[in-house]
Amino acid sequence: MSKKLFVFIMVLSLALIAASPMAPSSSVPCPSGTFASAFTIQNMSAVTATCSYQFFDTLGTAAYTSASFTIPASGSNFTYVPSIAGLASGQYSGMVSCDQQVSAIVNSSSANSGGSYDAVANTGTIWYAPNAFSNYYNYNSNFVVQNATSSPVNVTLEVINSSGAVVA
């Protein structure tokens, strides 16, 4: 049985890795520019992991499936998304599947901005972010919530200041 690693979704104009076979939303606001993404999968186990990854278009249709590949014990695999032959430029979500415990990180950047996020193995109903920036020394935060189910969900976002008060 394979262990699936779901990756958070970000909306990008060139290429994207994210998490889950659910369709990425084309209506999510994000920084402008042409983005390129890369992801690293780290094998956390003491044995070789066999992995593959899949990309899904904005309709949730599989757009690309990699061949199976191995990652040695405690090793890693780096993939630069724009250099994947057969994957057209566009907006995608993605899913990594491995037969061992892995961890993953995604990096995305344009000429004007960039960001990183890690993958999640399990989804949940409550998620806490340790910080959020609004033009704090020219840093801004972008949060994207992905529904990893096939049913509609309601989302509530609360911004809590350092005193514990809900401010937005």
Q: Indicate the range of 4-8, 30-34, 142-146 predicted with least confidence.
A: 4-8
Beta bridge partners of 120: 6
Contact partners, residue 131, CB within 8 Å, separation at least 6: 141
Cβ-Cβ contacts under 8 Å for 37 (sequence gap 6 or more): 10, 12, 14, 15, 16, 17, 81, 82, 106, 107, 108
Give residue 14's pLDDT. Answer: 28
Q: What is the reported pLDDT for 41?
A: 95
Tell me how far CA of residue 48 lies from CA of 19, 57, 77, 140, in angstroms: 23, 30, 12, 39
- What b/e string do you get for 85-103 counting C-beta neighbours within 10 Å, with b at 16 or more? eebeeebbbbbbbbbbebe
Mean pLDDT of 43-58: 94
Phi, psi dihedrals of residue 90, rounded to the nearest 5°? 165, -170
Q: What is the pLDDT of residue 123?
A: 72
Task: Look up the pTM and report it.
Answer: 0.68
**Do 117 and 106 form a contact (C-beta atoms < 8 A)?**
yes
Q: What is the pLDDT of residues 62-117, one digit of tens each?
A: 999 999 999 999 999 999 999 999 999 988 888 899 999 999 988 888 887 777 77
